[in-house]
Amino acid sequence: MGLGKRSMLMAGAQFFEMGLQILLPVVLVRTLIPEEFGAYRLAWLIVGSLASALPFAIPDTLSVLLPRHGAYARQLIVRNMLLLMGLLGCLAGLGVGLVLSLFDTQSSLNQMPWLIGVFTAVWIFAVTLDSLPLANEEPLWQAKAIIVLALIRTAVAVAAAWWFRSLWAVMLAILVTASLRAWAVIWYARRFAKNSALAAPQSAQESGKALMIEHWRVAAPLGSSSLLYTIRRQADSWVAATVFSAVQFASFSLGSVLAPIVLVVRRAVSTTLLPSMSRNQSKGDLHLVLQANHRANEVVAGVVCPALALIWWFAPYLFTLVYTETYVDAALVLRVMTFVWLAQVIELNSLLLLTGTMGYAARIGIPLTAFSFAVCWYGATRFGLLGASVGALLTAVLERALLLRGLSKALKLPLIELQPWPRLLLLLGMCFGLAGLAYGLSLYVPGPRWLVFGGTAMGYALCYYSLVRVSGLVRWRMVS
pLDDT at 421: 92
* CA 31 distance to own-chain centroid: 27
DSSP letter for each residue of 386-431? HHHHHHHHHHHHHHHHHHHHHHHHHHT--GGGTS-HHHHHHHHHHH
Instruction: Give long-range contacts, CB 8 A cutoff, 24+ apart: 293-296.
Output: 293/347, 293/350, 293/351, 294/419, 294/420, 294/479, 295/475, 295/477, 295/478, 295/479, 296/7, 296/269, 296/270, 296/347, 296/350, 296/478
CA distance 408 to 403: 9
CA distance 331 to 143: 32
138 SS3 class: coil
Per-residue pLDDT of the chain (480 residues; tens, 9 = 90+): 555 566 667 777 877 888 888 889 999 999 999 889 999 999 999 999 999 888 988 888 887 788 777 777 888 889 999 999 999 999 999 999 999 998 876 678 888 999 999 999 999 999 999 889 988 878 889 889 999 999 999 999 999 999 999 999 999 999 999 999 999 999 999 888 777 654 444 444 456 678 888 888 888 877 777 788 788 888 999 999 999 988 889 889 888 888 777 877 777 776 666 666 767 666 766 777 788 888 888 888 998 999 999 999 999 888 888 887 888 888 889 999 999 999 988 888 778 877 777 778 778 888 999 999 999 999 999 999 899 999 999 999 999 999 999 888 888 889 888 898 999 999 999 999 999 999 999 988 888 878 888 899 999 999 999 999 898 888 777 655
What per-residue string of b and e applies to 184-212 under the rule 16 or more CB within 10 Å gives b? bbeebbeebeeebeeeeeeeeebeeeebb
**Cβ neighbours of residue 359 under 8 Å, at least 6 residues apart?**
221
pLDDT at 203: 46
Whole-structure pTM value: 0.80
Residues counted in the chain: 480
329 SS3 class: coil
pLDDT at 463: 94
CA distance 346 to 355: 16
Straight-line distance from the first to the last Cα atom of the chain, in angstroms, rounded to the nearest whole number: 12
pLDDT at 251: 86
Tell me if 71 sits within 8 A of 196, measured CB to CB.
yes
185 SS3 class: helix
CA distance 57 to 59: 6
pLDDT at 67: 76
Tell me if 222 sits within 8 A of 353, measured CB to CB.
yes
Tell me if 253 sits within 8 A of 22, measured CB to CB.
no
